[in-house]
A and B are shown apart, each in its own frame.
Chain A
Amino acid sequence: MDNIEQLVGKSVGSPTVFAEVFDRYHDQIFTYLARRVGTDKAGDLASEVFTRAFRQRETFDPTLGAVIAWLYGIATRVLSEHRKAEHRHWKRLERVASIEPTGSDDFVAVDLRLDSGAKLERTLKHLSDLSEDQRDALLLVAWEELSYQNAALALNCPIGTVRSRVARARAALHEAEIREVCSSKMEPLANNRQVRVVQDDANLESGSAR
């Protein structure tokens, strides 16, 4: 029985066998995309990944690594073409990290939620501030749990480059965290704005403001 890597090669002459690649990996790629741009856009992008993969199936070299790494690579390039959507999604994630639903109308509770979500929010913000190369490498390793070798295949770069990008990403995150913590200790009351929620959904949906 052919393994999945062999199937990709076989699909060059027998296209229908490529469907098995889809069946095996579609959900995993969808999840990766959903983490990066949100579930509402992930479906279309996942479709784009697999149609590209099919068109480029002859470029897959099974001697270099796994099919899933190759698919992650295509997905990452698709994401790079939709970085504005990703940017919006990250902002949404940061906001959700700050404002969790509680069912309470109490403003004090809102403030507590903001505090508890602050670290999560900061981490997400710092992740979004990384360069694309560093973020791609770090998230493929940390979120998608790819090996460095597979991440290298996905990113089409040497394994040493992946290692250095991940290391630099970690260092940048660490530095940003230290900077933020120091800043907040030195100026605890510098920012007295109490911005909690800017736009109510009723106003958004009605389009009453431009």
Chain B
Amino acid sequence: MTQNSYQPDVVRSVRPEVPGPSDEVRSTNRETLMTLIEQAGSSGPDESQTGCEPSPVLIDLTTEPNVAEVVATPVRARVLAFAAAVLVVVGLGAIVGSGFVAGDGDSILSADSSRDLNDASLMPGDVFAIVAQRAAQQQPPPSDLPVYRELAVSLYDDSRTEFETWRRADGSGYSRTIFDSLKPEEASAAEETATEVSDQDPGADDPKPLAEPEVFHEIYIEGDTGGGTNHKVSLGGEWLGSAELAELPTEPDELKTALLAFEEARPITSWSIPELRGESGVFFPALGLVQSSIASPELRSAAFMVLSDLEGVEIETNVKDPLDRDAFAISYNRPELEPLYQASFDAYNEELEDLYFETYGEEFPGGHDYGRTSYRSQAEVKFLFDPDTTAPLGAADAESFSLITESSWEVNVPKPPADAKYSLGEIYVGCVVVDGIDTFYDPSPGQQPLVEGPFDGKCPDLESVLADIAKAVEEGT
């Protein structure tokens, strides 16, 4: 008899031993719950708890990511097993429109939009169609923050990404990101087949991602590292804002000594590269200073000098970037590092195919990581800069992920764009099933999801839902 090597004990043997929650986490979570309990207590007994009817389940869509307000009214069509179609308007402004949206969008039926969806009593088994339309006006970020702009083009699929960051002196702030396509959450069968072709050695030509409908998305993120755009500089594992950077010496030798001290203090992690400690470890921190928008010109200049003095670093002038623009290059070539940087790249999933890598970056609508995946295929790395402004130009060759086509920062006080918005894209369509405990969301074919869900097929085809609802409304049922 064949021994099954995956008896529960084997699976249990790989159970991660994790520490329990910290006192702070436990206390915070308890406080959150107690606040809820107090609110429930002050509102009196919940009358829905009595009686034999199924208890209403309230869907609080306002807690979903990027949904600022939900205004809608469900209309029951029980005979069809569908409860309602609702219009969800996202944003802080007025309602853009409301009503049932059927089929091709030409037949818009009227509906009472006076009630908040959260007031609706959604019964187990109810199915709701949801249409989220274009975002309403969103209050722009504070305008007293200097702005850093950057426009990047992916050399894999020519998609464009535009970053604008309003930052505070400590490096925190807002980032505004506009990007022109979303990658598929999960590859289709055809894509999976095509992806297999890309499973080849590093350096080989991977197929480009399949074309996505070009849809522009725009989102604001606030974070303590400049909204995720790394406007703080990491030295020795610490994130430094402009106030801390201002204390660094601007004389190259002194700066190098300071950077070495930071690197010596850097904790050793399981994936630290031994060869990148000591003087070699100064390269990336110094490069970070050179590329930083919050380092002073004097500090950036000193960092340039530190870089040029490092073993393995070469400065090339009169080079061209992939757009044939004038540039100078800082390259770093350490042959002994070569094995450490070999990796293959899955252009479809934007993830390395090997396990020793994780994508990182902002979460965009649909839950996609986008535009922050980086990799090295060679020991030599090269970074390009504008010779006039010393602004980063990004990629030196087509193997790099993105090419910065514009970048600049200002020390005065620019105004953010007046049309700043939260936007979930053009239109999101899907339906929600209330099953008594939880909600499930399925997107309509060809649409991006508003809310991620298990996508377990619990929603019927949206077109038929909408058609049936339209029929039910027409018949007055």
Contact = CB atoms under 8 A, between A and B. Distances in A.
Interface string B257-293: 0000001001011111110100001001101100100
A173 B6 contact: yes
A107 B338 CA distance: 13
Contacts of B234: 202, 205-207
Contact of B270 (A27, A35, A77, A101): A101
B341 A46 contact: no
Contacts of A198: 340-341, 343, 352, 354, 356-357, 375-376
A3 interface: no
Contact of B26 (A27, A51, A201): A27
Contacts of B36: 51, 54-55
Contacts of A16: 37, 41
A80 to B, nearest CB: 5
Mostly, the B contact residues are: loop
B120 to A, nearest CB: 15
B103 interface: no
Interface in A75-97: 77, 80-81, 83-84, 88, 91-96
B46 A12 contact: yes
B30 interface: yes
A59 interface: yes
Contacts of A142: 8, 11-12, 15
B113 interface: no
B358 A210 contact: no
A196 B354 CA distance: 9
B114 interface: no
Given A91-B358, A99-B270, A206-B284, A197 B340 contact: yes
Interface residues of B, number: 93
Interface in B354-368: 354-360, 367
B237 interface: yes
Nearest to A207: B230
Contacts, number: 239
Contacts of B20: 27, 30-31
Given A27-B20, A198-B376, A206 B288 contact: yes
Nearest to A14: B41
Contacts of B271: 95, 99, 197, 199-201
Mostly, the A contact residues are: helix
B339 interface: yes
A13 interface: yes
A143 B15 contact: yes
A201 B288 contact: no
B18 A51 contact: no
A43 interface: yes
Contacts of A95: 271, 355-358
Contacts of B211: none
B268 A170 contact: no
B158 interface: no
28 contacts: A19-B33, A19-B34, A22-B30, A31-B20, A39-B18, A42-B25, A43-B25, A50-B29, A51-B33, A54-B40, A58-B49, A77-B438, A84-B452, A120-B14, A123-B6, A156-B437, A170-B4, A170-B11, A198-B340, A198-B343, A198-B356, A201-B237, A203-B284, A205-B237, A205-B239, A206-B285, A207-B234, A210-B152
Interface of B: 4-8, 10-12, 14-16, 18-22, 25-26, 28-30, 32-34, 36-37, 40-41, 45-46, 48-49, 55, 57-58, 152, 201-202, 229-230, 233-234, 237, 239, 263, 266, 268-274, 276, 281, 284-285, 287-288, 291, 339-344, 352, 354-360, 367, 371-372, 374-376, 381, 383, 394, 400-402, 404, 436-438, 452-454
- In order of increasing CB-CB distance, the 8 nearest A-B pairs are A207-B230, A205-B234, A206-B288, A209-B374, A105-B274, A43-B25, A173-B6, A34-B18
Given A96-B270, A107-B339, A142-B12, 5 more contacts: A26-B29, A91-B357, A139-B11, A198-B352, A208-B291
